[in-house]
Structures are given as C-alpha cells and as structure tokens.
Amino acid sequence: MTDLDMLSYFLGIEFVSKENRIFMHQKKYANDVLRRFKMKYCNGADTLIEASMVLTKEGNEELVDSTTFKQLVGSLRYLCNTRPNIAHSVGLVSRYMEKPRTSHYLAAKRTLRYIKETSELGLHYAKKQAGVEAGSIEFTDAYWKQSIVALSTCEAEYVAASMGACQAVWLAELGLRSNDVVKMEIDNKSAIDLARIRVSMEGANT
C-alpha cells in the first residue's frame, strides 16, 4: 500500500484542500464534455432554461439521434455530482430519452452553455460554517416526481408537505433530531390552510 498524499482527482472529480476546507469541482470533466459535443467555443449562458421554453413529447419537430442525446444527458447527469444546481434542467431533458426531438437537444445544449459560463463552480465543504460543526445538520433530499397526479397546486404542495413531515418523523426515529418543533416551509396558502384545519380537499381553493 502506497500513500499518495491528499486526494486531488478521482473519477472525473477534482479536490482542492486548503486548511480545514475542501472544494470539489469537475472543471476538467466539464471541458471534456464541451469538447466531445463540439461546444468548446460556444457562447456561454447565464441561465439554465429559457423563460419561454416548452418541452413536449409530441410534435412535428425533427427527431435527433437518440444515442448522441443519451450520451449528452448522461454526461450532464454526472456533472450533477458537484453541480446540484443543474439537476432540475437535466431532469427535464431526461424525460425525452426515447424519441428526442430538436427542442429537447437544444435544451440539453443550453445546459452545456451554462456549464461553459460557470465551469469554476463546485461544492465547498468546511469543517465549520457559521459556527456550526460539520456533520451536525441532518437533511434528506429527493430527485423524483410525486407518485400521484395532483389536480391543483394546492394538492401538489400538500402532498409535498406530507412527504416532508414523514421524513422529519423518520429522522426523529433514527435519533438524528432533537425534540425541537419541525418548521414546514409551504408557499401555497390553500395548502397551509388545509394542513392547519381539517377541511375537505373538494372545498379547497387552488
């Protein structure tokens, strides 16, 4: 066994260690992806998604090569390891793997253009942040859609809040939380009212 000193590169992820901090990024991998898909000299983009973008499975648009599209989306997914901020846009284009069309490919390339503009970004871990010891904050996350079809924003937000409450109970049962009250952040008034009082979903405004 040989001591290779501090980890600096592993599976396309670069590590920069300074004092009590570690910075993880994939700049080299991102540049390789840009080169692979002939986007090395493209114009960068400040945003991931255009405001007017609408993606659908049906339409009269020309189909693009599915193999190339899958390779591009797969590369973007791997970039999510250190770039969680692109997860939403990558998730959107991932829905069209079977028969990708021109708009889907352009949306994926838009994400690449954003990567070109922000290749220096990554994940920063510090031993202490804002007076909090590393490892003393517990969290859970999910990257899948709800398993049911909500008929209104109220229903969707209520289901999300319910899932969040279940996760809080789960963390408590694992002994990872104190007895403090769990604060739920909900941005839909109807869902908040529904959670506070027992009202019928039929009578709730959307």
Task: Assign 142 to helix, strand or coil.
Answer: coil
Look at the pTM and tell me if it is higher than 0.85. Answer: no
Pair 163, 130: CB distance under 8 Å: no
Q: Is 12 left (phi over 0), alpha (psi -120 to 50) or beta?
A: left
34-46 tens-digit pLDDT = 999 999 999 999 9
* Closest by Cα among 117, 52, 56, 51 to 83: 117
CA distance 185 to 161: 8
Query: Average pLDDT of 116-135?
Result: 74
Predicted confidence at residue 127, as pLDDT, reads 72
